[in-house]
Structure 1
Amino acid sequence: MKAAAPGTNPELEAVTPPRRGTAERGRNAVAVVALSAVIAVGMIHAVPTFGQLRRLGDGGWALVARFLLAVALIIAVGRLGGWVAARCRQPRVVGEMAAGIALGPTLLGQFAPAVQHALFPADLVPELGLVAQLAIIYFVFLLGTDLPLDLLRGSGGRVAALGAGMVAVPLGCGLLLAAGLAADYRPAGVGSVPFLLFVGTAMSITAFPVLVRILAEHDLIRTRIGTLGLATAGAGDALSWFLLVMVVALAHGDSAAAVLPTAGWLVLFTAVTLIVVRPALRRFLAAAEHTAGGRRIAIAVLVLCALSGAAVTDWIGVHAIFGALLVGAVVPRENSVVRGLGRTVGRGVTLVLPLFFAVIGFSMDIGLLGDVRDLLLCGLMVLVAVVSKVGTTTLVGRLTKLTWRESLGLGVMVNCRGLTELVVVSTGLSLGIIGPDLFVMFVVMTLVTTAMTGPLLGWLRLGATPADALSAERSGTTHATTGEPGRTRGVEDPF
C-alpha cells in the first residue's frame, strides 16, 4: 500500500469527492429548476401572444393574404431603403427608418391615401404591431448580449467622466427644454416629473449597436479612439437605461412612495437574474454547445428566456424591453451558442425589423408639425440634442488630455441615436408620457443625429494610424463580446 504524503489526511480525501459530487449535483438541480421556471414563464407568455394572430385566421384567407402582403411590402421597401442608405455611405438602419416613415401618413398617405389604406388597413395594424414588438424584444435582448461590459470594467476614470458628462448635460438640457414644453405638449393626466425626466432621458440616449456598425465601416474599432468611443457609449447607455426604468416606474405612480413596490420588484428580479439565472444559463450552455442538437435546444431556451424576462418586467409595470435587456446582459458571452446568435435569432430579427419602423410610420404624421412654431421647436430640439452631446463630450475629452480632433470625434460618435432612441420614444408614446406631436419631433431628431454621424467622422479623418493599430494589437483590444477585432456579433445587417 502506498504511504500517504506528509500533511495529508487519507480519511478526509476519501470523503471529499462524494461531497464535491453532492455539491455539483445540487448546483445542477438548481440550474434545472431555475431554467424550467424561466422556460415555463416564457411559454405561458408566448401562447397568448402568438394566439393573438389567430384573429387573422378568423377573418378567412383574404385577411391572411392581406397581412402577408403587407409584411412582404414593408420588408421589401425597408430593404430597399437600407440598400439606398448603404450606397450613400449611411447605416442601413437610416434608410429603413426613412422607408418605414414613408409608408405612413407622412408620405404615402399624403399622395395616395386610398392606396395607403388599401395596403395597410387599420384592422391589420395591431397584428403588425405585435410582430414588431416581438422583433424589438429580441433586438433589445441581442443588444444586451452585445453591451461592452468588458470595456467598461477596464476603462478607468476617463470613460466614467465621459459617460457621466454625455448623459448629465443632455439630461439637464432636456429637463429645461421639457419645462418650456410642458404647458403645451404634456399629455393630460401625465405628471410633471415623469414628463420632464422622460424628455431629458430621451435626449441623453446613444445607439451603441448603430455606432458599432459606423465605426466598423470607418475602420475605427481597433483604434484607441474607437475603443474609447464604444466604452463611453456603453457607459452612457447603461446610465440612460437605468434612468428610463425609473421614469417608467414613476409614470405608473402618483408619488415617490407609489414607485417603491415597482422598484422593489425590479430589484428582486435583477437579483434573481444575476444570482440564479446567470449561473444556470452558464452551466446549461456549457453542456449544450458541444452537439448540434444541444445548440438548437440552447437557442430555443435563450429565445424563451428573453420572452420570459420581457413578460416579468411587463408584469412589474416597467416595460417589456427592460427584462429582455437584462436577460441579454447576463447571458455568458464566451459560449459559442451565444456568439452565433447573430446568425440565427439575429437574422430573423433583421428580416422583420422594418415592421417596427413601419408601425412607427403609421403612428406619426409629419403634418403634425405644419405649424411654424412646431417646426421651430423641432429645429431647437435637434440643436439642443447635438450641442449638448457633442459639446459636452468634446470638452470632457479635452479635459482628459485627448486632442481636439479626438475629443470632437468622440462627441460625434455619442451623438448617434439610431434605433435605440426610436425604441425609447416609442415606449414613451405607448405609455402616454409624450403625445404624437412630440413623438414626431423626437423621430426627426433621431434621423438627423444618426445620419450626420458617418459623414462627420469621415470629415474628421480619425482612421487608424500604424501606431494606433500596433497599440490595439499589443493590448489585445477586441470587440467586447465577440473577441474579434472590428466585428459585432449582434444583429448584423440593419446596423
Structure 2
Amino acid sequence: MSSVPVPTIAHHSLLVLLLQLALLLLLALSLGQLAAWFKMPAIVGELFAGVILGPSVLSHVLPDFADWLLPKQPGQMHLLDAVGQLGVLLLVGVTGMELKFDLVKRRGATAVRVSLAGLFLPLGLGVAVGFLLPSSLLPGGTDPTVFALFLGVALCVSAIPVIAKTLMDMNLIHREVGQLTLASGVIDDVIGWFLLSMVSAMATVGLTTGKIAAALLYPTGVVLFAVLVGRPAVRFALRAANRSPEAGPTVAVAALIVLLGSAATHAMGLEAVFGAFVCGVLIATSGELDGEKLAPLRTTVLAFLAPVYFATAGIRMDLTALARPAVLAAACAVLAVAILGKFAGAYIGAKLSGLGRWEALALGAGMNSRGVIEVIVAMVGLRLGILGPETYTIIILVAIVTSLMAPPILRAAMDRIEENAETEMGMGGGKPRDLTPSPPASV
C-alpha cells in the first residue's frame, strides 16, 4: 500500500509567512537603525517593531489587517515561531563562540567576586518578589515556586553585548574596568544559562525531590559530556572543515554542531538554548575557531535572523496591560528590584576587591544591562507557560529599560574615572592602567 504524501504548505499560509517576515524585518532594521542613531541599543528598536505589529498598536489601529497578518490559528503562528527558534538558537551559539574566557583568567578573583555578588543578590531578591506578586498575574496551573525561581533567574542575568559595544565606542575596551565588566559578564552568562536550564527542567517535570535532583544533574552531565567527549569531536569536525579554503564548510559544520547540541538538550527536557550555548563555547575553546570563515554565519544571524526573532518577541508584548494598576505596580516593583539588586551586588563585589567608587559604579552599570539574554529568557518562560502576557511584558520592559540605562551611566562613571586618572597623573601618580587583549565582538 502506497503512503499518502504529506501536503506542502498551503498557498495562503506561505503568503502570510512571507509578508510577516518581510514586515518584521523591514520594521526591525529601520527602528534598529533609528535607535542606534539616538545612541540606543538596536535591540530596543527591534523589539518595538514587534510592538507596533502586535496587540499594543496594530490591533487597535487596523484590527482587520492585524487579524489577517497575525491570525489566531496556532499553525500559522508556529511557522513564524519556527523561524524565530532557528534564529535564537544560532544567535545563542554565536554568542557562545564570542565569549573570551581568557579575560576571566586574567581578571581572576575580582571578576568572580563581582559576578557572583551581582548574580546571587538579584536572584534572591527576584525569587522573593516572585512569591509576593499577586497570583492573578500567574498563568493558570503555574506552580508559584517555579514562577518565583524563574523570575529570580530572569532578574539575575546580564548581557554583555550592549556594554561591549559601548566600551568600544568609547575606546575604553582595553581599560581595567572594561575588561573586568566583560570578564564578569562571561561568568554571568555561563551561570545564567545553567540556572535557566535547571528552572526550565523543573517547570517541565515538576518539583518532586527526584525530579529536582534530575534537573540539577542533567545540566551538569551535559557540561561534563561536552568537555570529555564533545570538545575533541568538535575540534575534529572543525579541523576537517577548515581544510577547505572556502568558508562554506566551516559555517555549515558550526551551524550543525549548534543545532545538534540544541536537539540533544531539548530531548533531555532541558532548554534547547542551553545546548546551543554549550556548543558555541565548545567551538570557541576548540582551538580551531576561524573567525574570518565564521563571519558569514555571524552576519546572517545578526542581520536577519536575530532582528526577526526580537521583533517576534515584541509581538507578544501587550503594553495596554500596564493600564491596569496591579500590573503597573508589579512592573515598577520588578524593575526596581532588578536595577537595585544588580547595582548593589556588582558594587559590593567591586568594593570587596578594593576598587574605587566610580569603578564599582561602572561595573554595576555594565552588569545591569539585560538586553538580548533577558528577551530570550522571557520567550522561554512564555513558551513553557511559566509567564503570562502581563509578566512577559514586564520582563521585556526590564530588558529594554536596563539596556537604555547602561550606556549613559557607564559613560558618566568612566568620565569620572578618566578625570581621577588625569588628576593622579598630574600629582605624579603615573598613568592609568591599560590592558591590551583584543576586544570581543559585540553580539
Taking structure 2 as the reference length, the TM-score comes to 0.89
* 2:266 is the counterpart of 1:314: yes
* 2:13 is the counterpart of 1:63: yes
Tell me which of 101, 122, 125 is aligned to 2:51: 101
Q: Contact (CA 8 Å) 1:101, 1:357: kept in 2 or not?
A: no
Q: Residues 368 and 168 of structure 1: is their aligned pair in 2 closer, same or farther, counting only changes over 3 Å?
A: same
1:217 is aligned with what amino acid?
A: D
String of CA shifts for 1:241-297, please: whole Å, max 9, x gaps.
22222211221223121233454444333322211221122233234324324x422
CA distance in 1, matches of 2:431, 2:138: 49
> Among the aligned pairs, what percent are the same residue?
28
Tell me which of 347, 356, 379 is aligned to 2:332: 379
Tell me which of 229, 242, 245 is aligned to 1:276: 229
For 1:178-197, what aligned pairs fall within 5 Å after superposition?
A: 178-181=130-133, 183-197=135-149
1:472 is aligned with what amino acid?
A: D
How many residue pairs get aligned? The number is: 425
CA distance in 2, matches of 1:78, 1:327: 28
Structure 1 match to 2:276: 324
Structure 2 match to 1:154: 106
Q: Residues 325 and 113 of structure 1: is their aligned pair in 2 closer, same or farther, counting only changes over 3 Å?
A: same
Q: Contact (CA 8 Å) 2:234, 2:257: kept in 1 or not?
A: no
Q: Contact (CA 8 Å) 2:122, 2:341: kept in 1 or not?
A: yes
Q: Contact (CA 8 Å) 1:101, 1:362: kept in 2 or not?
A: yes
Structure 2 match to 1:115: 65
Q: Contact (CA 8 Å) 2:98, 2:284: kept in 1 or not?
A: no
Q: CA deviation at 1:424?
A: 0.6
String of CA shifts for 1:147-184, please: whole Å, max 9, x gaps.
23221223222112111110111011111111111533
Q: CA deviation at 1:470?
A: 7.5
Q: Contact (CA 8 Å) 1:245, 1:318: kept in 2 or not?
A: yes
1:403 is aligned with what amino acid?
A: G
CA distance in 2, matches of 1:342, 1:282: 15
Q: CA deviation at 1:131?
A: 0.2
Q: Contact (CA 8 Å) 2:199, 2:215: kept in 1 or not?
A: no
Range moving further from structure 2, 333-342 or 362-371: 333-342
Three-state SS of the structure 2 residue aligned to 1:340 is: helix
String of CA shifts for 1:130-161, please: whole Å, max 9, x gaps.
00010000001111112232212232221121
Q: Residues 73 and 263 of structure 1: is their aligned pair in 2 closer, same or farther, counting only changes over 3 Å?
A: same
String of CA shifts for 1:374-408, please: whole Å, max 9, x gaps.
11221121111111111222233223221211111
Q: CA deviation at 1:431?
A: 0.7
* 2:370 is the counterpart of 1:413: no
Q: CA deviation at 1:333?
A: 4.7
Q: Contact (CA 8 Å) 1:288, 1:298: kept in 2 or not?
A: yes
Q: Contact (CA 8 Å) 1:162, 1:397: kept in 2 or not?
A: yes
CA distance in 2, matches of 1:338, 1:86: 29
Structure 2 match to 1:347: 299
Q: Contact (CA 8 Å) 1:333, 1:339: kept in 2 or not?
A: no
Q: Contact (CA 8 Å) 2:202, 2:215: kept in 1 or not?
A: no
Q: CA deviation at 1:192?
A: 3.1
Q: Residues 175 and 369 of structure 1: is their aligned pair in 2 closer, same or farther, counting only changes over 3 Å?
A: same
Q: CA deviation at 1:118?
A: 2.8
* 2:41 is the counterpart of 1:91: yes
Tell me which of 298, 304, 318 is aligned to 2:250: 298
Q: Contact (CA 8 Å) 1:105, 1:113: kept in 2 or not?
A: no
Q: Contact (CA 8 Å) 1:79, 1:96: kept in 2 or not?
A: yes
For 1:249-288, what aligned pairs fall within 5 Å after superposition?
A: 249-251=201-203, 252-288=205-241
2:87 is aligned with what amino acid?
A: A
1:207 is aligned with what amino acid?
A: A
Q: Residues 266 and 228 of structure 1: is their aligned pair in 2 closer, same or farther, counting only changes over 3 Å?
A: closer
2:51 is aligned with what amino acid?
A: I
Three-state SS of the structure 2 residue aligned to 1:90 is: coil
CA distance in 1, matches of 2:168, 2:269: 37
1:190 is aligned with what amino acid?
A: T
Q: Residues 341 and 446 of structure 1: is their aligned pair in 2 closer, same or farther, counting only changes over 3 Å?
A: farther
Three-state SS of the structure 1 residue aligned to 2:172 is: coil
Q: Residues 469 and 271 of structure 1: is their aligned pair in 2 closer, same or farther, counting only changes over 3 Å?
A: farther
Q: Contact (CA 8 Å) 2:258, 2:279: kept in 1 or not?
A: yes
Structure 1 match to 2:165: 213
CA distance in 2, matches of 1:59, 1:287: 40
CA distance in 2, matches of 1:341, 1:421: 29
2:195 is aligned with what amino acid?
A: L
Alignment gaps of 5+ in structure 2: 1-5
CA distance in 2, matches of 1:234, 1:408: 19
Structure 2 match to 1:472: 434
For 1:382-461, what aligned pairs fall within 5 Å after superposition?
A: 382-461=335-414
Q: Cα RMSD (Å) of the superposition? A: 2.4
CA distance in 1, matches of 2:323, 2:219: 41
Taking structure 1 as the reference length, the TM-score comes to 0.80
Q: CA deviation at 1:337?
A: 5.1
Larger Rg: 1
Three-state SS of the structure 2 residue aligned to 1:456 is: helix
CA distance in 2, matches of 1:337, 1:205: 26
Structure 2 match to 1:35: none
Q: Residues 354 and 121 of structure 1: is their aligned pair in 2 closer, same or farther, counting only changes over 3 Å?
A: farther
Three-state SS of the structure 2 residue aligned to 1:472 is: coil
Q: Contact (CA 8 Å) 2:197, 2:219: kept in 1 or not?
A: no
Q: Contact (CA 8 Å) 1:250, 1:256: kept in 2 or not?
A: no
CA distance in 1, matches of 2:326, 2:214: 41
Q: Residues 178 and 348 of structure 1: is their aligned pair in 2 closer, same or farther, counting only changes over 3 Å?
A: same
Q: Contact (CA 8 Å) 2:24, 2:50: kept in 1 or not?
A: yes
Q: Contact (CA 8 Å) 1:93, 1:419: kept in 2 or not?
A: yes
1:204 is aligned with what amino acid?
A: C
2:9 is aligned with what amino acid?
A: D
